[in-house]
Amino acid sequence: MATLDSKVPQGPIKDKWTDYKNHIDLVNPANKRHIDVIVVGTGLAGGSAAATLAELGYNVKAFAYQDSPRRAHSIAAQGGINAAKNYQGDGDSTYRLFYDTVKGGDYRSREANVYRLAEVSANIIDQCVAQGVPFARDYGGLLDNRSFGGVLVSRTFYAKGQTGQQLLLGAYSAMNRQIARGKIEMFNRHEMLDVVIVDGKARGIIARNLITGEIERHSAHAVVVGSGGYGNVYFLSTNAMGSNATAAWKIHKKGAFFANPCFTQIHPTCIPRSGDYQSKLTLMSESLRNDGRIWVPKHKEDVMAIREGRKKPTDLSEDQRDYYLERRYPAFGNLVPRDVASRAAKERCDAGYGVNATGEAVYLDFAAAIERYGKEQAKIHNILNPTKEKITQLGEAIVEAKYGNLFQMYEKIVDQNPYKTPMMIYPAVHYTMGGVWVDYNLMTTIPGCYCIGEANFSDHGANRLGASALMQGLADGYFVLPYTIGDYLADDIRTGKIPTNTKEFDEAEKEVTDRINFFVNNKGSKSVDYFHKKLGKVMWDKAGMSRNATGLKEAMAEIKAIREEFWKEVSVPGKANEMNPELEKAGRVADFLELGELFAKDALMREESCGGHFREESAEESGPQKGEAKRDDKNFAFVAAWEYKGEPANAVLHKEELEFKDIELKQRSYK
């Protein structure tokens, strides 16, 4: 097992990043044109990194499995992006953003990385405004903010409910400028299937052209992976169906350690599933919790009447409703962090208070907000004694301006008007805080191989605060990696082009082609989706919102059995040398089947509750009662290595000292 060195600079946390930048090696502009960088993934992290590195003068090859970077899953982010600009004057600061992010992550983040994230957050907003991102503005012309879960200030900048789309278009426009200049060579509809290591350094990738099926070799002096998270290991999630773990998993199997795989975020605000036929779930932005009140009926007879259609939710009076988040967590109310809100919804539904046919839904109600905004607008427009209908009309107009596209999306999917009846929501798999282990430079344990955005583990600990994903992706791509990668590449200014006609590329390509040929020639009896759904059910039932030792041991055994059956019985129609989506899925599900077992192993070893990992006591365990936190004495990250062509190596617990002793291991309190 290699020794892990996080390379966190010495000194006070507020000075680390500034002092570090003052002393790292740089590549001068004339030498950057002699250095090649591969960027895998062109969402917010990869797209911003590719654009910035090309702007600096590096030669960039960018790879996207979609037909355009505009199709990256970052486009689906709705609610906003955090930054410590304190436009509201409500007490925000760099330190408070840092503190909230560390606390929200249950003190499991690397604090130096998070402080740096908070420092550069304000720069992100300025950069995006300069690119033309249409952030919402208040009446005075300043950028508007709203609040998200787990914080006591308003620091979330937004563009209606389309923030991810607008930010991605900004990064894409920056990329296009460099594509036109010839500094970015764009490879759409290409998938990275392996990393090539030469003399211990990442020196290229093997990619498949998804249109023609051709296997290609691409070399570079460094490889950057920004391929997103692995939430689709659950099959049903809010991720796009194409989102996958393959790029990150391939570098893991070549020696890049994987950290905290079991830290998965279950988002509380999703449209409930309606049956077993669904292939994905749909997110409703957390921003809705600013104005929506979450409740279930107090009495089970009302629950049954609603399920059977004998009552509507609007028939229940206030005293017949249980606003359970407001009741349990009065300081934060409906804006508790995502893990808290998700488990609370599950607890109410498990207790029999779920309001839809499956019993897996709670209400998100905007009636109070509509009335409040309507009365405010009536005063603004000097309407005396407005009717109830007028108040509703004025209030709905404000809600539509803030959340209109989200309401429209909900109505199209559920066929209910959320202005007139409460939305139904239920938790669903959304984001993965775990990922590839990286040091302070964002380099993995493979020299020259970097990992950025959701694909790495460093910034969110055990639970991500809402609106921090976009912040991390753009911070890594625009403001962190462009500095840190130069420190490594400074040694490569005389290296010259990396040849691809070497034994290392030969071996990597053979491995990829052998695997592809196996899939198309196996002629098994079951589809790829059959195995993916089986894996997803095991993951959700036994490694979902709560886990216990018995279930996790069962999950590991079941996943291993599914994997063995997969390699015997998987059937992939079509050929290798053509466009073949089933072949693409086969490779990705094979990786999920390995990742799922590591995920369960991490959760089993982690005998504590923290953030997205909620450990229950099973019959074979002793110690704290169900749900009570079992905490280690130090901040740590679970890190595992995968032997090259073998089974998982021994896992290790990597402990990192907390730098802020005053917040060390405090219980998160939202009461």
- For the cut 70, the answer to whether the pLDDT of residue 635 exceeds it is no
With 0-12 / 13-18 / 19 or more C-beta atoms within 10 angstroms meaning exposed / middle / buried, residue 511 is middle
Helix (H) or strand (E) holding 40: strand 36-40
Half-sphere exposure of 638 (CA within 13 A, CB side): 25
Beta pairing class for 258-259 and 636-640: antiparallel
Please tell me the predicted confidence (pLDDT) of residue 231: 96
For residue 328, the tally of other CB atoms under 10 A from its CB is 15
Sheet containing 652-655: give its strands across.
435-436, 258-259, 636-640, 652-655
- Say if CB 205 and CB 248 are below 8 A apart: no
pLDDT tens digit sequence for 402-443: 898 899 999 999 999 999 999 999 999 999 999 999 999 999
Q: What is the spatial distance between Cα 436 and Cα 448, in angstroms, rounded to a whole number?
A: 14
Per DSSP, the three-state class of 63 is strand
Three-state secondary structure readout of 426-459: EEEEEEECCEECCCCCCECCCCCEEECHHHECCC
- The more confidently predicted of residues 140 and 630 is 140
Please tell me the predicted confidence (pLDDT) of residue 139: 87
Amino acid at 459: D
Question: What percentage of the chain reaches a pLDDT higher than 90?
Answer: 81
Q: Kindly state the tokens that stand for 31.
A: 């030498």
- Say if CB 98 and CB 114 are below 8 A apart: yes
Helix (H) or strand (E) holding 37: strand 36-40
Q: Quick one: average pLDDT of 434-462?
A: 96
Q: Quick one: average pLDDT of 371-384?
A: 96
Find, among 518, 587, 648, the residue nearest to 191 by Cα: 587
Per DSSP, the three-state class of 269 is strand
- Say if CB 422 and CB 365 are below 8 A apart: yes
Q: Quick one: average pLDDT of 477-495?
A: 96
Q: What is the spatial distance between Cα 218 and Cα 185, in angstroms, rounded to a whole number?
A: 11
Mean pLDDT across the chain: 90
Helix, strand, coil % in the chain, rounded to nearest 5: 45, 15, 40
Q: Kindly state the tokens that stand for 47.
A: 């797209």
pLDDT tens digit sequence for 22-42: 999 999 999 999 999 999 999
Helix (H) or strand (E) holding 164: helix 163-181
Please tell me the predicted confidence (pLDDT) of residue 654: 36
pTM of the model: 0.90
Q: Positive or negative, the Cα torsion across 560, 563, 567, 568?
A: positive
**DSSP string for residues in 227-246:** ----GGGGSSSSS-TT--SH
Find, among 430, 467, 472, the residue nearest to 109 by Cα: 472
- Say if CB 470 and CB 77 are below 8 A apart: yes
* Plot region of 197 (φ>0 → left; ψ -120 to 50 → alpha; else → beta): beta
Per DSSP, the three-state class of 335 is helix
Span between the terminal Cα atoms of the chain, in Å: 42
Strand partners, 61: 38, 185
Q: What is the spatial distance between Cα 403 and Cα 287, in angstroms, rounded to a whole number?
A: 8
Please tell me the predicted confidence (pLDDT) of residue 630: 34
Out of 23-27, 498-502, 637-641, least confident range: 637-641
pLDDT category at 167 given cuts 50, 70, 90 is very high
pLDDT category at 629 given cuts 50, 70, 90 is very low
pLDDT tens digit sequence for 231-245: 999 999 999 999 999
CA distances from 513 to 83, 566, 587 (A): 45, 19, 12
Contacts of 222 (CB under 8 A, 6+ apart): 35, 37, 38, 202, 448, 449, 450, 485, 488, 489, 492
Q: Positive or negative, the Cα torsion across 212, 215, 220, 223?
A: positive
Please tell me the predicted confidence (pLDDT) of residue 240: 93
Rounded to the nearest 5 degrees, what angle is found at the Cα of 636, between the Cα atoms of 630 and 642?
110
Q: Kindly state the tokens that stand for 8.
A: 């966190």
Please tell me the predicted confidence (pLDDT) of residue 648: 35
Q: Quick one: average pLDDT of 517-521?
A: 97
Q: What is the spatial distance between Cα 31 and Cα 656, in angstroms, rounded to a whole number?
A: 36
For residue 412, the tally of other CB atoms under 10 A from its CB is 9
Amino acid at 277: Y
363 phi/psi in degrees, rounded to 5: -95, 145
Out of 274-288, 456-470, 576-590, least confident range: 274-288
Find, among 404, 463, 450, 384, the residue nearest to 202 by Cα: 450
For residue 662, the tally of other CB atoms under 10 A from its CB is 6
Find, among 258, 298, 291, the residue nearest to 370 by Cα: 291
Q: Kindly state the tokens that stand for 391.
A: 């108040």
Amino acid at 629: A
- For the cut 60, the answer to whether the pLDDT of residue 646 exceeds it is no
- Say if CB 661 and CB 655 are below 8 A apart: no
Beta pairing class for 184-187 and 190-198: unpaired
